[in-house]
Structure 1
Amino acid sequence: MTWLLRVLACATVLLAPLEGYLHQVHPHLAKVAPGLLIVSWAAQRVRLRQLPAPHPLHALLALFAVVVLVSSAVHAGDPFALDYAQRFLPFLLITAVLVDVVAREVPVRAVLAAAVGGALFAAVGALYSLVVDGEARATGPLEDPNDLAYFLVVALPLLIALPARRFLLPVGAVLAAGAAATFSRGGALALLCAGVWLVVRRGVSMRVVAAMVGGLAVIGLGAVVFAGPVLDRALAEKTHIAATNVDTRELRWQAAARMMADNPVLGVGPGGFRSSYVAASRNAEVDEQSPVAHNIYLEIGAELGLPGLACFLGAVAMAFVATERALRAGDRSMLAVQASLIAALVASTFLSEQYYLPIWSLVAVAIAAGLRLEESERDACLARHQ
């Protein structure tokens, strides 16, 4: 059963950025691996008569689920409430399950490698969609280029945690090129922040940074030479919509802030930003009546109130504390997890990414690493006393 849990946990993380491809095969195919993981995990715990490895995060996730359910019940008449509650709750459950299986059965680096592997496939698909399919901005496995960039830039820092260092530069170059092909400014800023964090914390040397920049320069030159018309068209389209994006996001952020101020306890309900946007924005966007907020913090706060936002930020804070403790104990892979979390949090300032796995799986891996450290410390203490 242990091998099955390892396969399913890694498959869940690996397939997350390929959701669009899976959806083309069958609308529910992306749910198969997470569903089987949850069932297998429950069967394993019943078989071994084990409770999940305890951690305060479990209580926080349970409270988060209560907030989602109560907010949904209060706003049951909203057309999006039930659907979005059903989308949100599985991420809380899969986070709890990943914490437990990574703390016990699944090696931390295996999960990180799965995240990089899935992102690598997605990056190849991104480049294919731009160069071969002639898309103005890379999409590939995800419909929105910005969501695709989110997966790729979050995966990039994880490379330094993997043992196969000789593949670091080529895989990193493909991931970076795929992210660049989305022309996502938020993704670029997120990657810059993660890179600065790694340099400051001495996770990567300036030589590696220079090599990555040089590799990207070569790729960029090749793109200009061999795909100049495609690149020109993509840049022209991005320039055309850039100013509009800034204006519309400002409108949506203001609307979300109003919703949160008017409904601080339980928000407007899961998915309620979409149904309440016209009123909150005073019909500011005639062409878009039910958008997303393009900011994970404002959207969670608007839809689930301050308690929901506090639960989300509390989970992230617990993850940072766990990684820092493991890092000080000598686990340098946690520096990569920290950088990836920073990339996810920065990118989520411009995107609504609570319905994608990366930020939840990173929190789970961080907490699981902390649990592994606590167990090793207990074992060492027992050994000394014996």
Structure 2
Amino acid sequence: MWLTVLLRVLACGTVALAPLEGYLLQVHGQSAKVVPALLIGVWLFSLYRHRRLPAAHPLHLVIALLAVVLLATSAVHVAEPFTLEYLVRWVPFLVIAVVLADVAAREVPVRALLAAAVAGAVVAAAGGLLSLVGGSLRATGPVEDPNDLAFFLVAALPLLVALPARGRSRVVSLVLGAVLVAGAAATFSRGGGLALGCALVWLVVRRGIPVRAVAVTAAVAGVAALVFASAAQAELSRALQEKSHIAGTNADTRVLRWQAASRMLADDPLLGVGPGGFRQEYAAAGHNAEIDEQTPVAHNMFLEVAAELGVPGFALLIAFVAIGFVASERALRRGADRREAVAVQAALIAVLIASIFLSEQYYLPLWSLVALAVAIEQRSLKESRCAFST
């Protein structure tokens, strides 16, 4: 019993603390790794104690093959300055995806993990809004880059659909949704706005949320935005001016980086330039197009992964994402909770759209959402077997 409780606390803590990494890093440089490391350790002890292995799933094969590709390209590019640093960044996410898929299928309710993700994002959104009071022109809070903060918020917003929405819970959900929308809007992230719009369309089309709920949440957020705008008119004007000033530059630099990533992939389509290799090779591949930025990220997860891990790595990333959608659809056909499955799908869509403009492979939502989709499928399979046996 105590082991189950510990797994639940650590799993929910891992998900909830992901968007608050910046706050944790202010406490200690390694503090953000403590809870995930404890989760992995307790999970391994649980497997040993119960003498079992995780139920086999295609997810494990894809992650194992992705690990092989990572090790192979890292071995080829081990002399490069960023290779080992970025390899170490990749590995924990592969492990956490396996762990979350297993514990969410057995010990930890999926809805508890979805609630934890929302709770962490709401705190991050509140921190972002408070950062505006502190003088920031765009919401940052626990995440240094406003666009990355928007990524966490729009990935969490669809998950509200899976939480209870009756009586007082409905009011709470509307308030939390308004905070997330307001926080995302305060980042002035165009990619985040597009990702949120696509996720909401998916929810409406799949009957995960009524149009009225979208309208009410938007209205509440709109009122809050008007109140804020009237109270901080000068700051808002400066923020809009800054955003409009850098918008064109951002578009131009992203095109340059996408072109450089494409060149890297064309030069070495098998194993790419290695983990972190985009930063190392950008100046040469981009023909020094950005004199003041020699080691950036690609601002496109798909192109960056393709450039660094080659075609095999890119294909495995796509397969990993596909597993999430296929697993959730299979769960729906078996009668799984529709709100949970559709909410995870919508959140995954938000992650994918946002990742067209950002390099988000080193943040948890991508990995945790696919893991939860697999867990929903495995739970539905168990329930259908139980129903058949009775």
The TM tier, using the shorter chain, reads over 0.9
Is 1:364 aligned with 2:365? Answer: no
Q: CA deviation at 1:210?
A: 1.4
Is 1:374 aligned with 2:389? Answer: no
**When the two structures are superposed, what TM-score results if normalisation uses the length of structure 2?**
0.97
Aligned equivalents of 1:31, 1:209: Cα separation in 2: 36
- Tell me the equivalent position of 1:296: 301
Is 1:316 aligned with 2:321? Answer: yes
- Tell me the equivalent position of 2:199: 194
The equivalences for 1:238-317 within 5 A come to 238-317=243-322
Which digits, 9 at most, give the CA deviation of each residue in 1:307-326, with x for residues without a partner?
11111110110110111122
Aligned equivalents of 1:220, 1:51: Cα separation in 2: 50
Long gaps (5+) in structure 2: none
Which digits, 9 at most, give the CA deviation of each residue in 1:174-200, with x for residues without a partner?
000000110000000000000111111
- Tell me the equivalent position of 1:182: 187
Which digits, 9 at most, give the CA deviation of each residue in 1:298-343, with x for residues without a partner?
0000000011111111011011011112223242111100100000
Aligned equivalents of 2:375, 2:221: Cα separation in 1: 34
Output the amino acid matched with 1:137. Answer: R
Output the amino acid matched with 1:38. Answer: I
Is 1:334 aligned with 2:335? Answer: no
Against the structure 1 CA distance between its residues 330 and 349, is the aligned structure 2 distance closer, same or farther, given a 3 Å change threshold? same
Output the amino acid matched with 1:240. Answer: H
Q: CA deviation at 1:217?
A: 1.9
Which of 210, 213, 235 lines up with 2:215 in the alignment?
210
Aligned equivalents of 1:173, 1:331: Cα separation in 2: 25
- Tell me the equivalent position of 1:12: 14
Aligned equivalents of 2:150, 2:247: Cα separation in 1: 16
Aligned equivalents of 1:379, 1:265: Cα separation in 2: 45
Aligned equivalents of 1:118, 1:207: Cα separation in 2: 26
Aligned equivalents of 1:36, 1:209: Cα separation in 2: 38
Conserved? CA contact 1:100–1:368, under 8 Å: yes
Aligned equivalents of 1:282, 1:142: Cα separation in 2: 31
Aligned equivalents of 1:216, 1:111: Cα separation in 2: 25
- Tell me the equivalent position of 2:27: 25
Q: CA deviation at 1:166?
A: 2.8
Output the amino acid matched with 2:148. Answer: D
Which digits, 9 at most, give the CA deviation of each residue in 1:148-189, with x for residues without a partner?
000000000000100133311100000000001100000000
Is 1:354 aligned with 2:356? Answer: no
Q: Partner of 1:12: helix, strand, or coil? A: helix
Output the amino acid matched with 2:195. Answer: A
Aligned equivalents of 1:165, 1:327: Cα separation in 2: 24
- Tell me the equivalent position of 1:93: 95
Is 1:136 aligned with 2:137? Answer: yes
- Tell me the equivalent position of 2:160: 159
Aligned equivalents of 2:300, 2:317: Cα separation in 1: 13
Conserved? CA contact 1:53–1:103, under 8 Å: no
Long gaps (5+) in structure 1: none
Aligned equivalents of 1:323, 1:211: Cα separation in 2: 28
